Amino acid sequence: METLAMHISNGIINGPVAAIFAALALVALTYCVLRGRRDLDDRLAPMAGLVAAFIFAVQMLNFPIFTAGVSGHLLGGALAAMLVGPWVGALCVAVVLVVQALVFGDGGVAMLGLNITNMALLGTAAAYLLIALLLRVLPRTRAGLAVTAFVAATLSVVVASQGFVVEYWLGGTTDLGNNLAGLAGTMAGVHVLIGIGEGLITATTVLTVAKVRPDLVYALRSRRTPTTPAVPVSGGVR
């Protein structure tokens, strides 16, 4: 039996809870579309397509972690948030998860809402909050950017893994007795290690893009133009 991706399979979480999360994910993604449209211009749209394709590719690359017999792979939320912003970034990861579930049989179709909630929504949101904070306090150097990408990516993976624990608490199909904390601990421990891999990949990729085309790194935009109006103009005319 070959196992390929960190996605919830059918039967792990019960149907009603999966359906509730599907509805939740749909609402959240709709909001991301509405907010993301403000960011999506002629330049960001193709970049977002590339980010989605790149995340798909890197998600195939399971890397070994220090624990014997366990692997992990990129989730991509932090990378997407750095490169195309939180709203479009969450949509990029969601596109990847939908393609994986519908074309590659990876992650149950009925479980899609749960997987989107953890990896596209929670992972990207946690990453972006950290990115916004760290870019403010760290020095504006390449090292600062690398540390931001690394820390945001690492912690976002742990947050996403705990999203699964909450879902399992609500609708897990195996009674763990009082051992939910055990699952939380196991998940957190293994995902800290996976997160380090995620952090290294994210920092490397972001630094590379920042070197070649700094104008294509969303997280660096506010630095380049400090006079950007803080309040978005709703009419679309600036």
Partner 1 sequence: MKNRSWAFLAGGLLVALLLAGVVSNYASSHPDGLDSSLLKGCTVDADDTIVGGSCPAQQAKDHELGDSPLADYGVRGVENSFLSTGLSGVLGVLVTFAIGLGGFWLLRRRGTTPATGDDGTSAEGDAVTAGRGRTGTSD
Contact set for partner 1, span 6-25 (CB under 8 A): 6-12
* Residue type present at position 116: I
Indicate the residue among 139 and 236 with the shorter CB distance to partner 1.
236
Indicate the residue among 144 and 172 with the shorter CB distance to partner 1.
172
Does residue 79 touch partner 1 according to CB under 8 A? Answer: no
Indicate the residue among 41 and 137 with the shorter CB distance to partner 1.
41
Pairing of strands 63-64, 71-72: antiparallel
Does residue 91 touch partner 1 according to CB under 8 A? Answer: yes
| 3-class DSSP assignment, residue 9 | coil
Binding-site member from 17, 18, 25, 52 for partner 1 (CB under 8 A): 52
Separation CA 174–CA 94 (nearest Å): 27
Residue pair 163/118 in contact by the 8 Å Cβ criterion: yes
User: Least distance in Å: CB of 150 to partner 1?
Assistant: 18
Rule CB under 8 A: which of 138-167 touch partner 1?
161, 164
Residue pair 86/128 in contact by the 8 Å Cβ criterion: yes
Does residue 82 touch partner 1 according to CB under 8 A? Answer: no
Indicate the residue among 16 and 64 with the shorter CB distance to partner 1.
64
Residue pair 120/159 in contact by the 8 Å Cβ criterion: no
Task: Please state the length of the chain.
Answer: 238
Rule CB under 8 A: which of 162-221 touch partner 1?
164, 168, 172-174, 176, 182-183, 186-187, 190-191, 193-194, 212-213, 215-216, 221
221 is written with which tokens?
């935009």
Rule CB under 8 A: which of 55-74 touch partner 1?
55-58, 60-65, 67, 69-73
112 to each of 7, 25, 108, 123, 203, how far by Cα in Å?
A: 9, 9, 6, 15, 28
Indicate the residue among 137 and 229 with the shorter CB distance to partner 1.
229
